[in-house]
Amino acid sequence: MPPLRFVAKALSTEGVPPSELGMSMAPHPLMYQELAHDPEYQIYNGRLTPVRFADVSATEMYWKVRREVILRHTGELPIELVGPDAERLANRVFPRDVSKVRVGRCAYQFACYHDGGMINDGVMLRLAEDRFWMAQANGDLYGWYRAHAADLDVDVRDPDVWVSQVQGPRSLEVLAAVVDGEPPEPFRYFDIAEVSIAGQPVVITRSGFTNELGWEFYLTPDIDREAVGDRVLDVGRQFGMIITSAQVFRARRIEAGLLNAGSDFDRTVSPFEAGLGRFVDLNKPNFVGKAALERADRACRTWDVPIDVKCGF
């Protein structure tokens, strides 16, 4: 007899307090699309995310995202900052100047400790002048926001939003076919748009973690998430789409030079040591870790040193 495998499906818990496992092992609302592939899961941001499938190899996933298109349900965790002082909080926590990010645009962001060590990173969406989502990598930023918001008029909350990615050379063809009506135009890298998919309003961004052409869609709790997911997968299959696990990201993000929080940097590494100094705005007003990052900037500079090279044998 083959070994038994336990699987989970996202169920509605409206009006029911979440269980302990529901808070620490939350399944993606579209997890049911993965179950046919006999997935193995890990915990990422307190959410279940597949690390591999029994019937799809890492090589197959790699070439799918390079040549066609893939669908990936991620464990990224959007945290919402909303209120009159939302921008002030974001500028206090992030070394990169948030005031330069226009409404309807995304920006890569990370937070640092007071000693300049990196906490976590992610993609920040500016949905309105006073409203942001920070879709973070695995780790804790919620408590950090709260700790630095005590004197500000801002609400820090988990909006129960889930992120899925459509990536690959044919991803924009899928987008054009999947939306109700015309796709957004223009739709540049790191743009935000709201579209209708299966009759549901969906926030999408031109972003991803593969360095391929792609977009992400954000599933809010007030829509029919399954209708959206089924529409994306049904249409995507016409373009060769398959569902993938975390394996699809590993080779591509290394080839592209995309850093992974926890493995490529941690609290002992400054942004300058990680090669991310271009995302630190030292000329903006005070922010957490500024003094330490000014020192780290000077320590990591390369000075012109003459080298006498002799050729020959």
CA gyration radius, the chain: 21
Question: Across residues 207-222, what is the average pLDDT?
Answer: 96
Integer Cα distance of 143 and 110 in angstroms: 15
Half-sphere CA count of 289, side-chain side, radius 13 A: 26
pLDDT in tens, 149-201: 999 999 999 999 999 999 999 999 999 999 999 999 999 999 999 999 999 99
Question: Per the domain annotation, does 295 fall within a domain?
Answer: no
Residue 310 confidence (pLDDT): 61
**Count of the separate structural domains present in the chain:** 1
Integer Cα distance of 62 and 78 in angstroms: 26
Is the pLDDT assigned to residue 236 strictly greater than 60? yes
Residue type, 218: Y
Question: Per the domain annotation, does 94 fall within a domain?
Answer: no
Question: Per the domain annotation, does 169 fall within a domain?
Answer: yes
Question: Across residues 255-282, what is the average pLDDT?
Answer: 92
Is the pLDDT assigned to residue 77 strictly greater than 90? yes
Residue 298 confidence (pLDDT): 76
Q: How confident is the model at residue 251 (pLDDT cuts 50, 70, 90)?
A: confident
Residue 80 confidence (pLDDT): 99
Within a 10 A sphere around the Cβ of 239, how many other Cβ atoms? 17
In the numeric block, the tokens 């408590």 are attached to 143
Integer Cα distance of 137 and 47 in angstroms: 11
Question: Per the domain annotation, does 36 fall within a domain?
Answer: yes
Q: pTM for this structure?
A: 0.88
Question: Per the domain annotation, does 264 fall within a domain?
Answer: no
Helix (H, G, I), strand (E, B) or coil at 110: strand
Is the pLDDT assigned to residue 237 strictly greater than 60? yes
Question: Per the domain annotation, does 277 fall within a domain?
Answer: no
Q: How confident is the model at residue 248 (pLDDT cuts 50, 70, 90)?
A: confident
Structural element, H or E, at residue 227: helix 225-237
Name the residue range of residue 186's domain. 20-76+160-256
Residue 254 confidence (pLDDT): 86
Question: Per the domain annotation, does 270 fall within a domain?
Answer: no
Question: Per the domain annotation, does 208 fall within a domain?
Answer: yes
Q: What is the CATH number of the domain that holds 252?
A: 3.30.1360.120
pLDDT in tens, 287-308: 999 999 999 877 766 545 555 6
Residue 25 confidence (pLDDT): 85
User: Where are any strands of DSSP class E within the chain?
Assistant: 39-44, 47-53, 70-73, 77-82, 105-112, 118-128, 131-136, 155-157, 162-167, 192-197, 200-205, 214-219, 242-243
